[in-house]
Structure 1
Amino acid sequence: MALRHAVLAALLDGEYSGYQLAKAFDVGVANFWHALPQQLYAELAKLESEGLVAGRQVIQVTRPNKRLFRVTDAGRAVLEKFAVSESKPSFIRDDLLVKVQVADRIGTVPVIRELEQRATAAEAKIELLSTVLRKLRGDADEEQFLLSGERIGPYLTCLRGVAFEQEHRDWCLRIAAVLERRQTAHAEQ
C-alpha cells in the first residue's frame, strides 16, 4: 500500500486541511500506517497535481489562510481499484526484535528497559484507540454499531489497532519477564 491510498481513504470522510488530516491520521490511521506530517503535506501536493484530490483556499480573518482538500472522482476510482487488488501479506520490521534476538549475547538490561517502555506506550495507545471506538459508536453497543453503523471502516481498523497493541503489550511484558528471570538465574550461578 502506498501512502496515497491511506491519505485518500482518510479524506473520504470529508474536507480536511493538511493540519486536520495529520490529526485525523494520527488518531484514526496511525494504528496501521505511520506517516509524518511533512510526508502527508507532500503527498497532498502530489495527489492534487495528479487530480486525485482537489484543494480550495479558505480565507480566515484572524488566522492564516488554509487549504482544504477533498477526494475527487478520479481519487475514488484509484481507491476502488486499490480495494479490489490483491493485498500482500504484512510483515514485521521492528528494530526491537533484533535487540531481543541478540539480548543474551550483548546484555539484557537495556532491552528489558525498552520492552517495558514499549509496553507502556502500547497501553497508552490502547486507551487512545478505545476512546476513539467509544466516540465512533456513540450510544450504540458494539454489536449494534457493527450491524447498522453508518460507516464502520474506521471502527474496524481501530479494533485491529487495539488487538495489535494488546498483543504487543503482552508480548513485551512477557519477554521482559523472561529476560529478567534469565538474568537473575545467571547471576546466582
Structure 2
Amino acid sequence: MTLRHAVLAALLDGDMSGYQLAKTFDVSVSNYWHALPQQLYGELTKLEKEGLITGRVVIQQGRPNKRLFSLADPGTETLTQFITEPSRPSFIRDDLLVKVRACEVGGHAELIEQLEERAVQARAKITLFDKLLRELRGGTDEETYLASNSRIGPYLTGLRGRAFETETLLWCEQSARVLRLRIGSKPANG
C-alpha cells in the first residue's frame, strides 16, 4: 500500500480539505497508515495532477479560502485495482518490542515506565475508537449497522484498530507486571 491508496480511500467519505484529511489521518487512518500533514499535501498535489482526484476552491467569509478535494472516477478505478491485488503479510515495527526483547540487559525501571505510558496511550485510543464507532453507528446497534449501512469500511477498520489497541494494552500491562515481579517493584499507579 502506498500513501496514495490511503488518501483515495479516505476521500470515499466525501470532499475534504487538506486540513480535514490530516485530521482524518490523525484520528483513524494513522492506526494503519501514518503520514505527516506535509506528506498529505504533497500527495494531494500529485493525485490531482494525475487526475485521480479533483480540487476546487471554496470561498469563505472572514477566513482564507480553502481547497476541497474529491475522488474522481480514475481514483475509484485505482482503488478497485488496488483492492484486487494480493496483500502482503502485515508486520509490526516497534522499538518498544525490541526493548522488551532485550530486557535482560537492564534498564528495567525505565522500560516499565515506557510500557505503562504505552498502556495509557492504548487506553486513550480505545476510548477514541469507541467514540468513533458509536458516531458511525448513530443510534443503531452494531449488527444492524453492519448489515444495512452502505459504507462499512471505516467501521471495520475502526474495529481492527480497537482490537489492536486492546491487545497492545493487555501486552503492556502483562509485560510491566512480569518485569515488576522480576525486579520486585510496585506499579507506578498504585
State the TM bucket, normalised to the shorter chain: over 0.9
Q: Percent identity?
A: 61
Q: Give the CA deviation at 1:27.
A: 1.9
Q: Give the CA deviation at 1:160.
A: 0.4
Aligned to 2:94: 94
Tell me whether 1:141 sits opposite 2:141 in the alignment.
Answer: yes
Aligned to 2:71: 71
Aligned counterparts of 2:24 and 2:5: Cα–Cα separation in 1: 15
Q: Give the CA deviation at 1:108.
A: 0.8
Aligned to 1:39: 39
Aligned counterparts of 2:50 and 2:110: Cα–Cα separation in 1: 47
Deviations 1:114-142 (A, max 9, x none): 00000000000000010000000111111
Aligned counterparts of 2:12 and 2:145: Cα–Cα separation in 1: 20
Aligned counterparts of 1:184 and 1:104: Cα–Cα separation in 2: 15
Letter of the aligned partner of 2:12 in structure 1?
L
Greater shift in the superposed pair: 171-180 or 30-39? 30-39
Aligned counterparts of 1:36 and 1:72: Cα–Cα separation in 2: 23
Q: Give the CA deviation at 1:56.
A: 0.8
Aligned alpha-carbon RMSD (Å): 1.1
Structure 1 gaps of 5+ residues are none
Letter of the aligned partner of 1:146 in structure 2?
L
Greater shift in the superposed pair: 116-125 or 143-152? 143-152
Aligned counterparts of 1:149 and 1:115: Cα–Cα separation in 2: 38
Q: Give the CA deviation at 1:38.
A: 1.3
Normalising by the residue count of structure 1, what TM-score does the alignment of the two structures yield?
Answer: 0.95
Q: Give the CA deviation at 1:60.
A: 1.6
Q: Which segments of structure 1 move beyond 4 Å, counting only runs of 4 or more?
A: none
Letter of the aligned partner of 1:54 in structure 2?
T
Normalising by the residue count of structure 2, what TM-score does the alignment of the two structures yield?
Answer: 0.94
Q: Give the CA deviation at 1:39.
A: 1.2
Aligned to 2:51: 51
Aligned counterparts of 1:123 and 1:90: Cα–Cα separation in 2: 23
